[in-house]
A = this chain, B = another copy of it.
Amino acid sequence: MIVALTGGVGGAKLAWGLNQILPPDRLKIIVNTGDDFEHMGLHISPDLDTVMYTVAGIANRNTGWGVADETWEFMGALDRLGGPGWFQLGDRDLAMHVLRTARLRQGESLADIADDTCARLGIGCAITPMSDDPVRTVVHTTIGPLRFQDYFVRRRCEPCVSDVTYEGAGTARPHSRILSWLADSRLSIIVFCPSNPFLSLGPILGMPELKRTIANARAPKIAVSPIIAGAAVKGPAAKMLSEMGLEVSALGIARHYLGLVDCLLVDEVDAHLAPAIEALGMRVALAPILMRSDQDRVRLASRVIESGPS
């Protein structure tokens, strides 16, 4: 059994790859909810949706987020009515938000709704939010603390970041099923997907009980570097590392996860960093990390699984 910690687009791609090669009951995907927010009264879980859409094979492959072949009639009408246009809601994607919001208001949990949604979308593996309790990522910048969506969407990651904190993470309870997966004797690997360490995996690891449980798990922890040749594949990971005074490289990632991760999967172009990472006491495995095609995703997933046993 494999547990994967994931957030946005990169993590979702690897999750898709893992789902291709593992029996459905052997893959448990834990998803960041630090980006969740309310928009026009709708509960939005961006990472949960990206992972579900991607694993279901209906994600928009150009944007990474949202649904393929999306239409935008709602946004056009909303604009005409003077509604907010800064957060894009596709007509199909909107069904997810409206229905989930209604179900949450009726008392269903985020995890139970995700289970049902996965079943409806034909997803066999488990995709579970890290917690049913709210955790909200706050990005501290030179212009002040910003909510995730404010930083990421509205301000396009432009403000300079000094720190990232996770409101509610101290008291949020990790979902009980997650704790039991992590305690399961069949657990063979914990995968840290190539997601932003601060914005995607940060909130998951920001829950003390969950971080401790992961640290104490006997299964090897394999992280896939989200940084290749000093740059992030997508999103502000590289920019944030730099602004926070950390090295923008797989070595910086290794230092960030030191004490928690046993092995870092590094792109072949970063092979020269292997000695420095190994000097920290972390194992290194090399692989082509960039996932452009479905084949790339499956290849990386296989490489992650092979890297498990030390």
Q: Which residues of A contact B (CB under 8 A)?
A: 40-42, 67, 70-71, 73-78, 80-83, 90-96, 98-99, 101-102, 105, 116-117, 120-121
Complex Cα spacing A83 to B73, Å: 20
- Chain B residue nearest in CB terms to A41: B102
Whether B81 pairs with A120 at a CB distance below 8 angstroms is: yes
Whether A98 pairs with B41 at a CB distance below 8 angstroms is: yes
CB within 8 Å for A78 and B95 given contacts A41-B41, A71-B71, A71-B73: yes
Contact for A105 among B41, B71, B75, B94, CB less than 8 A = B41
Whether B101 pairs with A73 at a CB distance below 8 angstroms is: no
Whether B40 pairs with A117 at a CB distance below 8 angstroms is: no
Contact for A74 among B76, B92, B101, B117, CB less than 8 A = B92
A77 contact set on B, CB distance < 8 A: 67, 91-96
Can you list 11 residue pairs at the A/B interface with Cβ under 8 Å? A40-B101, A41-B102, A73-B90, A73-B91, A74-B98, A78-B95, A78-B98, A78-B99, A81-B96, A81-B120, A83-B98
* New A-B pairs, 4, CB < 8 Å, besides A74-B74, A81-B95: A40-B99, A42-B98, A73-B91, A81-B99
Complex Cα spacing A80 to B93, Å: 11
Q: Determine which residue in A77, A99, A101 has the highest number of CB atoms from chain B within 10 A of its CB, and name it.
A: A77
CB within 8 Å for A80 and B41 given contacts A73-B73, A94-B74: no
